[in-house]
Amino acid sequence: MIKPIRIALTKGRLEKDTVEMFERLGYDCTAIREKGRRLILPVAGTNLEIVLAKAADVATYVDNGVCDIGVVGKDTIMEMGGTFYEVADLGFGKCRFALALPQGVDFYEGYHTRRIASKYVNVARGFFERKNMDVSIVKIEGSVELAPILGLSDAIVDIVETGTTLRENGLVVAEYICDVSARLIVNIASLKLRKAEIEPLIARIEDYLAGEETE
């Protein structure tokens, strides 16, 4: 039996967008749409197998070679790093990293060490290192907007899509850091050992993306 090409998808919104993309490419994703509690699912009529996982785990699975391909947000890649290939910007799941703080506060005024709350501590650290600023970073796993409200931090670094959550909690964007979207990643060894199987799939996705851009 031929070993399937395993594709790890980030559960949730990116999963939905990725499935829609695969269906537009002509793949039968019925098993994924009717998955129930199953986490490993076949793509009918192909040698593809879908693995559903959290974003950080998608990157880990591809990095370690238990999945050949993955779809994950650029935010996860920036935070975790990895030795896989990042082969395509899929164009969905768009948002931005931003520095946000309470309304009316001048973040850059004064010389005290700022305290920054973030789930993305490596992204935050890299941002302030590029500015040659000395900051203290506090890792928050839940609603990071609470940190400045409760006085735990001066500001936050977080993903911003519409900005509604910030506004409703009295925060504003002080500076956008970078754009984020879903990316197609590939295990380095898989691309070498299964090149004849994986490269046509990548080319098919790239052709689809090129068509989307011209519409």
- Pairwise pLDDT comparison (80 vs 2), residue with the higher score: 80
**Averaged over 196-214, what is the pLDDT?**
89
**Phi and psi for 18 in degrees, rounded to 5?**
-70, -40
State the average pLDDT over residues 198-203: 96
Percentage with pLDDT > 70 across the chain = 98
Contacts of 96 (CB under 8 A, 6+ apart): 159, 160, 161, 176, 177, 178, 179, 180
Q: Scan for tokens 């799941």, then name that residue.
A: 93
Would you say residue 90 has pLDDT above 70? yes
- Phi, psi for 54 (deg, rounded to 5): -70, 155
- Confidence bin at 47 (pLDDT 50/70/90): very high
Mean residue pLDDT of the chain comes to 94
**Strand ranges in the chain using DSSP code E only, listed in sequence order:** 5-10, 40-42, 48-53, 69-73, 85-89, 95-102, 114-118, 135-139, 155-160, 171-180, 182-186
Hey, how many other C-beta atoms are within 10 angstroms of the C-beta on 9?
26
Is the pLDDT at 215 greater than 70, yes or no? no
What is the CB neighbour count within 10 angstroms for residue 39? 11
CATH 3.40.190.10 domain extents, the chain: 5-93+181-214, 95-178
Mean pLDDT value of segment 59-72: 97
- Which pLDDT belongs to residue 146? 96
Q: How high is the pLDDT of residue 1?
A: 63
pLDDT tens-place string over residues 7-39: 999 999 999 999 999 999 999 999 999 999 999
Q: What is the mean pLDDT of residues 107-112?
A: 79
Rounded to an integer, the average pLDDT of 147-157 is: 96
Ranges of beta strands (E only) in 27-170 are 40-42, 48-53, 69-73, 85-89, 95-102, 114-118, 135-139, 155-160
Instruction: Say what the pLDDT of residue 201 is.
Output: 95
Q: Tell me the three state secondary structure of residue 48.
A: strand
- What pLDDT score does 74 carry? 97
Task: Assign domain 95-178 one CATH number from 3.30.2320.50, 3.40.190.10, 3.40.50.1240, 3.40.50.460.
Answer: 3.40.190.10
pLDDT, one tens digit per residue, over 161-173 is 988 999 999 999 9
Whether the per-residue pLDDT at 110 is higher than 80: the answer is no
Superfamily of domain 5-93+181-214: Periplasmic binding protein-like II (3.40.190.10)
pTM: 0.90
172-198 pLDDT, tens per residue? 999 999 999 999 999 999 999 999 999
171-180: strand order across its sheet: 135-139, 114-118, 155-160, 95-102, 171-180
Through-space distance between the first and last CA atoms of the chain, rounded to whole angstroms:
41
- Residue 214, pLDDT score: 60
Cα–Cα dist 141/128, whole Å: 20
Q: Specify the pLDDT at position 2.
A: 78
Residues 177 and 4: their CA atoms lie apart, in Å, by: 39
